[in-house]
Amino acid sequence: MRFENTSIEAIKADLNRIDEVMSDFGLVREGQWDYERVTYDRKFELKEGVFYLRVMGHAVEGDVGTHKATIQLMKPLLGKHYYPHGVEYGEGENFPKALVSQCEKILSDVKSHLDKFAL
């Protein structure tokens, strides 16, 4: 599921600031990066299954590996994990309404915090 109306994809900010804000809301980058891309995930374990809120971004300037990069964020996704195949984001997936609402709130809060640092 793609979140269409968050405006997060309009944000460009320093990687270190994004890391800080995302971490405050439980979205972690861990080892999910390369020199040009980043991925932040938050895991939700519910009775309906395991879900991930994912926010990705790419470097428009600098290098992620050196922690000196400007990141352009992309539209957030919500996916359901299927062992051993991975995460599915498709339209045919059923996402609990309470989870979708919770994710929308998290994304709204993330955006309001990141707006302070947007370039």
- Residue 9 has what pLDDT? 93
The pLDDT assigned to 29 comes to: 92
**pLDDT at position 100, please?**
95
Q: Per residue in 34-66, is it b (16+ CB within 10 Å) or e — as a string? A: eeeebbbbbebeeeeeebbbbbbbebeebebee
CATH architecture of 8-114: 2-Layer Sandwich (3.30)
- pLDDT at position 119 is 79
Q: pLDDT at position 56, please? A: 96
pTM of the complete model: 0.91
Distance CA 26, CA 117 (A): 19
pLDDT of residue 88: 81
- pLDDT digit of tens for each residue in the chain (119 aa)? 999 989 999 999 999 999 999 999 999 998 777 889 999 999 999 999 999 999 999 999 999 989 999 999 999 999 999 888 888 887 788 899 999 999 999 999 999 999 998 87
